[in-house]
Chain A
Amino acid sequence: GENVEQHPSTLSVQEGDSAVIKCTYSDSASNYFPWYKQELGKGPQLIIDIRSNVGEKKDQRIAVTLNKTAKHFSLHITETQPEDSAVYFCAASNPTGTASKLTFGTGTRLQVTL
């Protein structure tokens, strides 16, 4: 089955700096890669996703890149703000038939300091 590794487990940046979180996956059949933000006491919230026919996707301060050959994908947050502080999870899936479940990374706790 799929295995997703995520690094770093914790990340502290100053307000205004950029943050990068990296994930690798094992199943070459995976072709859908979402990123979730989880705030304390809440459920994960989808912030951006990318499909394997796209190498990069951007939404305001958030961007995701995908390297299918290396099986790497990364989340980039620019101009970080205190409200970006949360736990971020990457995930991978091959959404066809019964193999549609998301496999999550172990999370990155991002702390944006003033």
Chain B
Amino acid sequence: NAGVMQNPRHLVRRRGQEARLRCSPMKGHSHVYWYRQLPEEGLKFMVYLQKENIIDESGMPKERFSAEFPKEGPSILRIQQVVRGDSAAYFCASSPQVGRGYTFGSGTRLTVV
């Protein structure tokens, strides 16, 4: 069981570029959550998805951010036209049932230069 796989581990983007973060949940897990962690801060909820559905996106910025979890393939968090304030660690978690037994990936550390 490979756990929650996130890639890339580190991503550097220039201001205005697009960032794509990928997350493959644990086998058998159909619930995926994305969280953002700023340096020296806690984790802030962004979005909760199940296959082909966004269940709760109350933590997503209204513009430039989107997420998907297609029928086949990993979940993708997409940030368009990145700005320096987007620099953070982005963690994906999956669970086999609603809201419990979260397993986190190792995160993608996005740096916008």
Contacts and interface: CB of A to CB of B under 8 A. Distances in A.
Given A34-B102, A46-B103, A95-B98, A100 B43 contact: no
Contacts of A42: 106-107
B55 A106 contact: no
B52 interface: no
Given A43-B91, A44-B91, A107-B42, A102 B106 contact: no
Interface in B66-98: 91, 97-98
Contact of A101 (B33, B91, B106): B33
Contacts of A25: none
B42 A43 contact: no
Contacts of A36: 104
B99 A43 contact: no
Given A44-B91, A46-B103, A100 B48 contact: yes
Contact of B45 (A45, A89, A101, A105): A101
Interface size class, chain B? 20 to 34
B41 interface: yes
Given A43-B91, A43-B106, A93-B99, A101 B43 contact: no
Chain A to chain B: the 5 pairs with minimum beta-carbon distance, closest first? A95-B99, A100-B99, A43-B104, A104-B42, A101-B45
27 contacts: A32-B99, A32-B100, A34-B102, A43-B91, A43-B104, A43-B107, A44-B91, A89-B43, A94-B99, A95-B97, A95-B100, A96-B99, A98-B56, A99-B56, A100-B48, A100-B99, A101-B48, A101-B58, A102-B33, A102-B45, A102-B99, A102-B102, A103-B45, A104-B35, A106-B42, A107-B41, A107-B42
Interface of B: 4, 31, 33, 35, 41-45, 48, 55-56, 58-59, 91, 97-107
Interface of A: 6, 32, 34, 36, 42-46, 49, 89, 93-107
